[in-house]
Amino acid sequence: MRNVWRLALLLSACAEVGPECVPADPAPVIGVAEGAFVSADGPVVPRAINSYPLLDHAGWDEWDDVASILDQARALGRPVIRTGAYMIGGRNPARLRDERGALREEGLARLDRILAMAAERDVQLLLITANHWGDYGGAPAVVEAVAPGEGLPVEAFYTDARAIAHQQDYLTALASHVNLENGRRYADDPTIFAWELVNEA
């Protein structure tokens, strides 16, 4: 129940604080109707795997590893991969935000390439935009970026107006970003199966 409360709080905050979290865009490629995923062709039952290291591999130019993961997912009949799109801080060149929370173009370029490689293989990605835990930065890094030195707990990610606004800005920037590899705006890219707001909230 606590997880549902946190998600509801973040969603309501997105609706009430600052600009919209995600810019207006056309009808989604995949939607939800009566509790099920649907497309224009009918019901969709996603067959997926979880692979956290895609962005990590991309950061170290391990593109063969990225290709291998995408190819294996396709070969296993699991053409949807759940993976992180939230790396913040640290040394990896693919980190999407620096320690202050500013967006990094180099990280976005790496994510662009991952999405382009996935599209070439008819693989979709479910992008996780934050992690409750500190792995790859996660919510604790967002809290520290907006409230440096205040020692706030991770729960401030869900309750502090600065953290909420910061995450809204990040979601808007991601959804609005145009992939340099293929010219697709992320919000319109059918390679992105779905967005997950927070891992293990």
Long-range (24+ apart) CB contacts under 8 A made by 93-102 are 93/59, 93/60, 94/55, 94/56, 94/58, 94/59, 94/60, 95/59, 95/137, 96/55, 97/137, 97/141, 97/145, 97/170, 99/141, 99/144, 99/145, 100/145, 101/141, 101/142, 101/145, 101/146, 101/166, 101/170
Number of CB atoms found within 10 A of residue 111's CB: 25
Number of CB atoms found within 10 A of residue 2's CB: 7
Does a structural domain hold residue 160? yes
From first to last of the 201 residues of the chain, give the pLDDT tens digit: 444 334 333 444 444 444 444 434 444 578 889 988 888 888 988 899 999 899 999 999 999 999 999 999 999 999 999 999 988 888 899 999 888 888 899 999 999 999 999 999 999 999 999 999 988 888 999 999 999 999 999 999 999 999 999 999 999 999 999 999 999 999 999 999 999 999 987
SS3 147: coil
Distance separating alpha carbons of residues 45 and 135, to the nearest angstrom: 29
Q: Domain residues for 40?
A: 2-196
Residues in a beta bridge with 196:
128
Total structural domains within the chain: 1
pLDDT for the residue numbered 54: 95
CA angle 4/130/62 to nearest 5° reads 140
b/e sequence 128-140, b meaning 16+ C-beta within 10 Å? bbbbbeeebbbbb
Structure tokens given for 132: 């409750």
pLDDT for the residue numbered 16: 44
Distance separating alpha carbons of residues 132 and 200, to the nearest angstrom: 6
Does a structural domain hold residue 133? yes
pLDDT for the residue numbered 18: 44
Distance separating alpha carbons of residues 12 and 4, to the nearest angstrom: 12
Does a structural domain hold residue 115? yes
Does a structural domain hold residue 44? yes
Number of CB atoms found within 10 A of residue 24's CB: 6
pLDDT for the residue numbered 98: 86
pLDDT for the residue numbered 46: 87
Does a structural domain hold residue 30? yes
Structure tokens given for 155: 């729960």
Does a structural domain hold residue 77? yes
Does a structural domain hold residue 201? no
CATH number at residue 127: 3.20.20.80
Structural contact between residues 191 and 29, judged by C-beta atoms closer than 8 angstroms = no
Q: How many CA atoms lie within 13 A of 14 on its CB side?
A: 17
Residues in a beta bridge with 97:
88, 103
